[in-house]
């Protein structure tokens, strides 16, 4: 009897954690093609590259990397459909950008180190929260609570001076109810493409309260990326001559020589704050309430050669009798945004019925 009770408690804890993604996940009986990846499967490939690169081995997944090393600006297409039609959620909270509908994985440096499991749905999926899932859905569940205290230091090194340094810890359950866990990561890479350097700093911090029928989690995670721009294309002739050529930041100096601006970078920071309350009412009913606030801010910087005054509302100048209406300049384009989400759902389940219903409200 003692062994059976222990197994039941373990099942309860696992299911309470899974309630976070119940509304956006499918199971083996669902008529949706999907793949589940566990923490152990992700860890085998997690050497510092972004999440799209870790999913590259899955069916119908094609990944791209601006810098060519899988670190920095990366993307993926599933079944040939653009990322704007891929719905991404983290703990049931929409992550896809509310403005462009794309997903900027560069703001989640080393996030794979804090993922408990994820599900990739190929084709039309469970687009209950966020953007439409016409191409695919990627539903991520972050680290579950740990009963045992632990600590981890991880270092990875690779081509093009790429390296990842990660520190993780967990207090384990204190007084059988409370746990605090966290992670700090730093990823650097020179990139395969010329000057396509990347510097990613990220964090993850989680506080959990656990009881027989209650799981409350307060989670914050985020990061800062400073990435030299490398998202411009080159033509076939340039590809044959120098496939690593990067036109970003290119200008001509006063001697007519080609130069490259040192700080042609994308510099952006994003912080996420989530609060989740999962409650098991009885054997059939469970509920979940999720709150999220995301604060994003940053810029990309560019050297502009012979830019028109009219672009910036400048008046023409007359110098030594000649009209001047263009100039070299450095500009920054800023982004500052706030994103709020409220999720509430209830699940009724018996031997024959598994019903999930609820609501999601967001403001960007």
Tens digit of pLDDT for each residue in 300-334? 999 999 999 999 999 899 888 889 999 999 999 99
Compute CA distances 120 → 37, 41, 45, 61, 217, whole Å: 8, 14, 16, 10, 24
What global pTM score does this model have? 0.89
244-281 burial code (b ≥16 CB/10 A, e <16): eebebbeeeeeeeeeeebeebbbbbebbbebebbbbbe
Structural contact between residues 51 and 108, judged by C-beta atoms closer than 8 angstroms: yes
How far apart, in whole angstroms, are the C-alpha atoms of residue 66 and residue 306? 27
Tokens 């007359």 map to which residue? 318
Measured from the Cβ of residue 129, the count of other Cβ atoms closer than 10 Å reads 25
Strands 86-90 and 136-142: parallel
Compute CA distances 23 → 89, 126, 245, 345, whole Å: 11, 8, 45, 7
How far apart, in whole angstroms, are the C-alpha atoms of residue 16 and residue 114? 18
Write the DSSP string, 242-306. Answer: -TT---TTEEE-TTS-EEE-TT-EEEEEEEEEEEEEEEE-SSSEEEEEEEEEEEEEEEEEEEEEE
pLDDT at position 12: 42
Supply the DSSP symbol for 13. Answer: H
Compute CA distances 243 → 52, 67, 73, 233, 269, whole Å: 23, 12, 18, 11, 31
For the chain, residues with pLDDT lower than 50 are 1-14
| Domains detected in the chain | 2-363 (2.170.130.10)
Which residues is 138 bridged to in the sheet?
88, 120
Strands in 265-280's sheet, in edge-to-edge order, are 150-158, 162-170, 178-189, 198-210, 214-228, 265-280, 285-308, 326-349, 354-363
Return the structure tokens found at 243.
């496939």
Structural contact between residues 84 and 30, judged by C-beta atoms closer than 8 angstroms: no
Structural contact between residues 92 and 21, judged by C-beta atoms closer than 8 angstroms: yes
Structural contact between residues 121 and 133, judged by C-beta atoms closer than 8 angstroms: yes
pLDDT at position 15: 62
């Amino acid at each position: 009897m003692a062994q059976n009770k222990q197994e039941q408690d373990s099942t309860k804890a696992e299911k309470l954690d899974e309630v976070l993604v119940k509304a956006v996940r499918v199971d083996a009986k669902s008529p949706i093609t999907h793949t589940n990846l566990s923490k152990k499967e992700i860890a085998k490939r997690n050497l510092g590259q972004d999440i799209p690169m870790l999913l590259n081995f899955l069916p119908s997944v094609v990944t791209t990397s601006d810098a060519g090393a899988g670190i920095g600006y990366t993307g993926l297409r599933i079944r040939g459909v653009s990322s704007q039609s891929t719905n991404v959620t983290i703990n049931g909270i929409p992550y896809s950008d509310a403005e462009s509908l794309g997903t900027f994985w560069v703001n989640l440096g080393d996030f794979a180190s804090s993922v408990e499991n994820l599900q990739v749905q190929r084709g039309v999926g469970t687009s209950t929260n966020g953007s439409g899932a016409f191409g695919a859905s990627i539903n991520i569940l972050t680290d579950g609570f740990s009963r045992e205290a632990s600590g981890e230091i991880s270092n990875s090194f690779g081509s093009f001076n790429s390296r990842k340094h990660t520190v993780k810890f967990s207090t384990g359950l204190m007084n059988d109810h409370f746990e605090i866990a966290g992670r700090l990561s730093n990823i650097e890479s020179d990139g395969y493409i010329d000057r396509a350097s990347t510097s990613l700093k990220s964090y993850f911090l989680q506080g959990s309260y656990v009881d027989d029928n209650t799981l409350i989690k307060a989670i914050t995670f985020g990061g800062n990326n400073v990435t030299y721009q490398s998202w411009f294309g080159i033509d076939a002739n340039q590809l044959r001559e120098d496939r690593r050529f990067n036109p970003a930041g290119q200008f001509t100096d006063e001697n007519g020589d080609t130069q490259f601006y040192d700080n042609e970078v994308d510099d952006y920071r994003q912080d996420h704050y989530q609060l989740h309350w999962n409650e098991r009412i009885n054997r059939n009913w469970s509920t979940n309430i999720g709150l999220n606030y995301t604060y994003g801010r940053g810029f990309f910087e560019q050297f502009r050669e012979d830019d028109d005054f009219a672009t910036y509302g400048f008046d023409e100048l007359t110098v030594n009798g000649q009209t001047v209406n263009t100039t070299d300049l450095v500009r920054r384009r800023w982004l500052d945004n706030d994103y709020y989400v409220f999720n509430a759902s209830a699940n009724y389940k018996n031997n024959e019925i598994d019903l999930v219903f609820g609501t999601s409200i967001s403001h960007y």
